[in-house]
Amino acid sequence: MIVHHVSGDFRGRDYLDTMLTTDNSDRDKKSNGSLSRGESNFSRYVEVYRKLLLLNEENNLATTLKNIQELLSFSEKIFSSSAVAETFLYFCLHGAATAWVLQNELNQPEATTYRALKRMRSLRIVVPALKISKVKSSKGGPRPTVWSLEKASTDEISKALKLHYQMLSPKFRVAEDVAQTILDEYIDKRKILEITYKEIVIQVKELKIPFRTPDIADLAANYLNEKGIKVWR
């Protein structure tokens, strides 16, 4: 879920407060107050957020979630919108995404996602990275776009593209629902961070899903791993 380096106490909020004060002061000197926050360059914000999000690799899940919540709370003050704040944080964390990925990952309505993307595009936080070929069964309309931070890596854009296609797969969507059910009904209630592959298979069989059990179990196991849950095989 979160990545990289230093563990321990989180001082990101203090750093962001300092950065905002300095940034606003510099901007006022250059523009005599003529620029609004919406017209400013957010590249420094993105850079600092990405660094702060990389401070959690050695932290436990509870500490990581607390740190992310602090950044989310701070982002909501910057953007005056929880949806834009969540979208901004997602891009800082992953570098790239499509609207479809954002809808599913952040559990947002389609209209909310497109409004958030429009806001981020207007602030030049994200740019179009590539257009996606439509699947054969899709209807008319514009081709989906992978949006990315300007300094997103090729690997991040590639992962966003792969995730987009995965989320269009019926099997993936079913496996995600199975994994979320396991998280809600089994792992969260017992306050544990591990499960056996056999238990996942049992859960899939009980739900009588119209796909091969091993296929769904494998996808669900991968999803749980990405959420920080250890799957014992």
The residue type found at 69 is: Q
Q: What is the pLDDT of residue 89?
A: 92
- How far, CA to CA in Å, does 42 sit from each of 4, 80, 96, 213? 23, 15, 16, 46
pLDDT of residue 142: 65
Render pLDDT for 165-177 as a digit per residue (tens, 0 to 9).
888 888 888 888 8
Q: Kindly indicate the confidence band of residue 32, based on its pLDDT and cuts at 50, 70 and 90.
A: very low
* Spatial CA neighbour of 77 closest among 85, 69, 66: 85
State mean pLDDT over 203-224: 88
Calculate the average pLDDT of the chain: 78
List pLDDT tens digits, range 109-159: 999 999 999 999 999 999 999 988 765 555 545 678 999 999 899 999 999
Phi-psi region of 8 (alpha: psi -120 to 50; beta: other; left: phi over 0): left
pLDDT confidence bin for 1, thresholds 50/70/90: very low
Residue 97, SS3?
A: strand
| Pairing state between β 145-149 and 126-131 | antiparallel
Please, are residues 232 and 197 in contact by the beta-carbon 8 Å criterion?
yes
Q: Crossing angle for the helix pair 213-226 and 197-207, nearest 10 degrees?
A: 120
d(CA 172, CA 122): 33
- Are the C-beta atoms of residues 45 and 51 closer than 8 Å to each other? no
Contact assessment for residue 3 and residue 57, using Cβ atoms and an 8 Å cutoff: yes
Least confident of 27-36, 46-55, 83-92, 180-189: 27-36
pTM of the prediction? Answer: 0.65
| Buried-state track 184-214, b at ≥16 Cβ within 10 A, e below 16 | eeebeeeeeeebebeebbebbeeeebeeebe
**Which residues 6+ apart lie within 8 Å of 152 measured at CB?**
95, 96, 129
